[in-house]
């Protein structure tokens, strides 16, 4: 019985790759140093999989930045602005594409399907020339072979590569990216021929776009591509791997009809309907790579349940054609549970990180082959049982309260226009009021204070005093700048989700549970393991303290339920919406406590609302209904005079604008400066929006300081499509990653621009 791993984390168990990359980028170490760290990581991963008994071990899933960028390099599809003149692509061109350089901006980055990983989007056009320019896939195959390990080289498939690309700047938006198929296939052929010559017997093509809603001409491209490659496949076994959702019936029919393909990989965790398609007819003599071990979470597999699924499949495809696999690459899970020394032992027994998932896949394969490790299976069954019955998971009161939400839609009783009038009487703000999103620069000193307090090196009094001084500094600065609605700057917070997760019951944290977000940036998601509740107030102490320092309105900042959900590892024993409703009720209590403490402006951030949107259109409305409902639950009980803000990071708003309006917030601030036109076009097309809105007037992701004129010009563009009485003036996002030397002049120019336009509006 064979086992297969789709892909594996490249960051290293203790983020070794991240530190090596950043050291290289800072000029503190050489290219050879970085390559050495990478080679050691690859060798240890391959060895670990081989030792566990894995038959199909992937190579070329390692990356110095991103696997789609690696494909761009392989195809020589370098945008002309980087001045590449041919030859093998090295770190200089590669990292310029990923990160930009002193003269050229980086290529665009966007989310990889519905994960929290981001890939570098290829920029293509009719003029793009393709040539074999990075031999990474072949050299990594040979590197593993020299260690005595035969691997399956993994390539991003040609059709998915093109479907995930975008027309380059200056190319018609309507340009058909699939028209380039004929141009990219010759390069793929060269790679295949070279891999075959090096000794490869299997090649894996990742074609995850097969799970999307595709049109018939897009499906036709798969048939064309693989029929064209067929001549170079002789003597090779070829696997087409899909993941993240069900494969729609039409797509299933299209790929399983390809006679040149030896095996098909399916995600059977998120793609349970694909099981019905397999039962309805799987091509005889082909291999089925059954993705039963979840690559996207950290829960231990229910081995008994997976085994019975596999036994059912074995009866359809035959014993020698079934391969046990992961649902997708394990790069979306944390690396190794061994490094979690502080986790409670009961909770830890419920988890399985990438290294443990490799063991699970092999244990299932051995069990199918008749050599079941009874001890391993019974300890797994015991952990599953303890998770089901544990009082730490189950809180009846929370379950009842969340169940009771389903009967009502939790809207504030008064319509938004009347609320805004009541709020204006109360807050008395000027036209085009100014505010910021919440965080102010996090200095080294501030991080040190938090670190020392966490390590018990300073007392609680010393900590509170240090944070109080920081808040006072931030409040004074905003008053000097003459900002209208102030914030306390969030000096006590490490991360917008972690800060709340640490104070909510039912959520735990790891020490090394890092997952790659993009490049060298890693995140450590909270783990929601049980029913969520709020034992005590989380932010009221600091917000009240800040409000007592000023007579201006002090805005409190909370992270919304949908964002906490979408940026965490979520329990898989109940629907996601139930967990979301529980978090909403916890945030609702906080909102009500803030209001009772005299806070009149409360912001509930939903940065990740759109990130949870399912991959299929047919599932969008169900998700948006419960997500928007959860947001309304948090603030449905406040007085008309309490102003509720929300903040969102820009991500193709246009298609969910009606859901955003349905959130019924009083004011929404939106990250917009990088994509001005896109966002404003929604309002230009006649969408009526009656609540307050603050599209960001400058990009905080860049150290650049925009001039007063530039900001005034932006605000004028907004006034062309939005009423002056609903427009707010604010930066794009929080300021925590910037320096004070950048923040002070940028905010001064922002306030000056707002005052300039107030004058112009008054005289008009």
Q: Bin 455: left if φ > 0, else alpha if -120 < ψ < 50, else beta.
A: alpha
Confirm if 117 and 518 have CB atoms less than 8 A apart: yes
Residue from 605, 700, 689, 690 nearest 647 by CA: 605
Confirm if 69 and 94 have CB atoms less than 8 A apart: yes
Dig out the tokens for 310 from the structure.
Answer: 């596999």
Across the strands, what pairs with 123?
166
Confirm if 567 and 116 have CB atoms less than 8 A apart: yes
Cα dihedral 337/340/344/346 (nearest 10): 10
Burial profile 424-443: b = 16 or more Cβ within 10 angstroms, e = fewer: eebbebeebbbbbbbbbbbe
Task: Return d(Cα 526, Cα 510) in angstroms, integer.
Answer: 8
Query: Would you mind telling me the total number of residues written for the chain in this entry?
Result: 764
Q: Distance between the two ends of the chain, CA-based, in angstroms?
A: 79
The DSSP code sequence of 9-50 is -SS-TT-HHHHHHHHHHTTSS-HHHHHHHHHHHHHHHHHHHH
**Strands, E, within 320-451: which ranges?**
322-326
Known catalytic residue at 620 = no
Task: Return d(Cα 378, Cα 376) in angstroms, integer.
Answer: 6
Confirm if 624 and 656 have CB atoms less than 8 A apart: yes
Dig out the tokens for 328 from the structure.
Answer: 């997708």
The angle formed by the CA atoms of residues 330, 336 and 337, to the nearest 5 degrees, is 120
In angstroms, what is the C-alpha Rg of the chain? 27
Confirm if 214 and 254 have CB atoms less than 8 A apart: no
Please tell me which residue in 4, 332, 645, 701 is annotated as part of the active site: 701
Residue 470 neighbours by CB under 8 Å, 6+ apart: 446, 489, 491
For 455, 621, 677, 679, 680, the CA distances from 685, given in Å and listed in that order, are: 54, 22, 12, 11, 9
Burial profile 142-160: b = 16 or more Cβ within 10 angstroms, e = fewer: bbbeeeebbbbbbbbbbbb
Confirm if 139 and 181 have CB atoms less than 8 A apart: no
DSSP 370: T
Report the helix count and the strand count for the chain, using DSSP H and E: 27, 22
For 28, 180, 183, 301, 621, the CA distances from 162, given in Å and listed in that order, are: 37, 8, 11, 34, 28
Task: Return d(Cα 669, Cα 691) in angstroms, integer.
Answer: 11
Confirm if 288 and 313 have CB atoms less than 8 A apart: yes
Dig out the tokens for 160 from the structure.
Answer: 């998915």
Confirm if 631 and 411 have CB atoms less than 8 A apart: no
Within a 13 Å sphere around the CA of 548, how many CA atoms are in the beta-carbon half?
8
Per-residue three-class SS string for 62-126: CCCCCHHHHHHHHCCCCCHHHCCCCCCCCHHHHHHHHHCCCCCCCCCEEECCCCCCEEECCEECC
Residue with tokens 């965490």: 568
Residue from 550, 553, 558, 560 nearest 471 by CA: 550
Cα dihedral 319/321/325/328 (nearest 10): -150
**Residues that are catalytic:** 701
């Amino acid at each position: 019985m064979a086992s297969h791993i789709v892909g594996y984390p490249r960051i290293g168990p203790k983020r070794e790759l991240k530190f090596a990359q950043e050291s290289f980028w800072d000029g503190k170490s050489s290219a050879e140093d970085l390559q050495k760290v990478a080679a050691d990581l690859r060798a240890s991963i391959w060895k670990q999989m081989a030792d566990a008994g894995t038959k199909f071990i992937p190579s070329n899933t390692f990356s110095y930045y991103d696997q789609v960028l690696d494909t761009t390099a392989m195809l020589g599809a370098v945008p002309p602005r980087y001045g590449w003149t041919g030859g093998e692509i090295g770190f200089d061109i590669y990292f310029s594409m990923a990160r930009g350089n002193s003269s050229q901006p980086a290529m665009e980055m966007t989310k990889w399907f519905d994960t929290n990983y981001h890939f570098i989007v290829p920029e293509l056009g009719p003029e793009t020339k393709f040539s074999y320019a990075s031999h990474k896939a072949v050299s990594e195959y040979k590197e593993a072979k020299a260690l005595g390990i035969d691997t399956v080289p993994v390539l991003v498939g040609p059709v998915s590569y093109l479907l995930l690309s975008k027309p380059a700047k200056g190319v018609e938006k309507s340009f058909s990216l699939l028209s380039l198929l004929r141009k990219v296939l010759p390069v793929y052929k060269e790679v295949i021929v070279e891999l075959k010559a090096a000794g490869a017997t299997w090649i894996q093509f990742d074609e995850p776009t097969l799970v999307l809603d595709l049109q018939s001409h897009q499906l036709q491209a798969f048939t064309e591509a693989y029929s064209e490659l067929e001549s170079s496949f002789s003597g090779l076994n070829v696997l087409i791997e899909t993941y993240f959702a069900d494969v729609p019936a039409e797509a299933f029919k299209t790929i399983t009809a390809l006679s040149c393909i030896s095996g098909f990989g399916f995600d059977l965790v998120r793609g349970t309907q694909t099981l019905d398609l397999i039962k309805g007819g799987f091509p005889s003599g082909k291999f089925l790579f059954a993705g039963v071990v979840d690559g996207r979470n950290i829960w231990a597999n229910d081995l008994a349940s997976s085994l019975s699924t596999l036994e059912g499949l074995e009866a359809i495809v035959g014993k020698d054609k079934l391969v046990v696999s992961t649902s997708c690459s394990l790069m979306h899970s944390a690396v190794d549970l061994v490094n979690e020394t502080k986790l409670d032992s009961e909770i830890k027994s419920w988890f399985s990180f990438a290294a443990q998932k490799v063991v699970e896949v092999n244990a299932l394969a051995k069990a199918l082959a008749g050599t079941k490790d009874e001890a391993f299976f019974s300890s797994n069954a015991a952990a599953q049982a303890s998770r089901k019955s544990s009082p730490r998971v189950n809180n009846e009161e929370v379950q009842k309260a969340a169940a009771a939400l389903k009967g009502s839609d939790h809207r504030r009783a008064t319509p938004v226009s009347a609320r805004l009038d009541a709020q204006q009487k109360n807050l008395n703000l000027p036209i085009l009021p100014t505010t910021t999103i919440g965080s102010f620069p996090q200095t080294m000193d501030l991080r040190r204070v938090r670190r020392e307090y966490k390590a018990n090196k300073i007392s609680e009094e010393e900590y509170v005093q240090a944070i109080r001084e920081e808040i006072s500094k931030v409040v004074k600065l905003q008053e000097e700048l003459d900002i209208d609605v102030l914030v306390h700057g969030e000096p006590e917070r490490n991360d917008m989700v972690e800060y709340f997760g640490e104070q909510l019951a039912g959520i735990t944290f790891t020490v090394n549970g890092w997952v790659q977000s993009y490049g060298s940036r890693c995140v450590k998601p909270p783990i929601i393991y049980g029913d969520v509740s709020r034992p005590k107030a989380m932010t009221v102490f600091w917000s009240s303290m800040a409000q007592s320092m000023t007579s201006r309105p002090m805005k409190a900042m909370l992270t919304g339920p949908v964002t906490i959900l979408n940026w965490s590892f979520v329990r898989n024993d109940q629907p996601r919406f139930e967990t979301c409703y529980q978090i909403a009720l916890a945030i609702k209590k906080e909102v009500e406590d803030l209001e009772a403490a005299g806070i009149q402006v409360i912001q509930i951030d939903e940065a990740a609302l759109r990130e949870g949107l399912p991959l299929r259109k047919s599932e969008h409305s169900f998700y948006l209904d419960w997500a928007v409902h959860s947001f309304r639950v948090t603030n449905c009980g406040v007085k008309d005079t309490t102003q509720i803000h929300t903040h969102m990071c820009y991500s193709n708003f246009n298609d969910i604008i009606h859901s955003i309006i349905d959130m019924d917030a009083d004011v929404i601030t939106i990250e917009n400066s990088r994509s001005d036109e896109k966002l404003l076009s929604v309002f230009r097309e006649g969408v009526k929006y009656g609540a307050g809105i603050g599209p960001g007037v400058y990009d905080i992701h860049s150290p650049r300081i925009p001039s007063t004129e530039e900001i005034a010009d932006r605000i004028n563009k907004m006034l062309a499509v939005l009423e002056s009485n609903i427009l707010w003036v604010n930066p794009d996002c929080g300021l925590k990653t910037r320096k004070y030397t950048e923040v002070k002049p940028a905010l001064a120019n922002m306030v000056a621009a707002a005052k300039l336009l107030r004058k112009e509006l008054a005289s008009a």
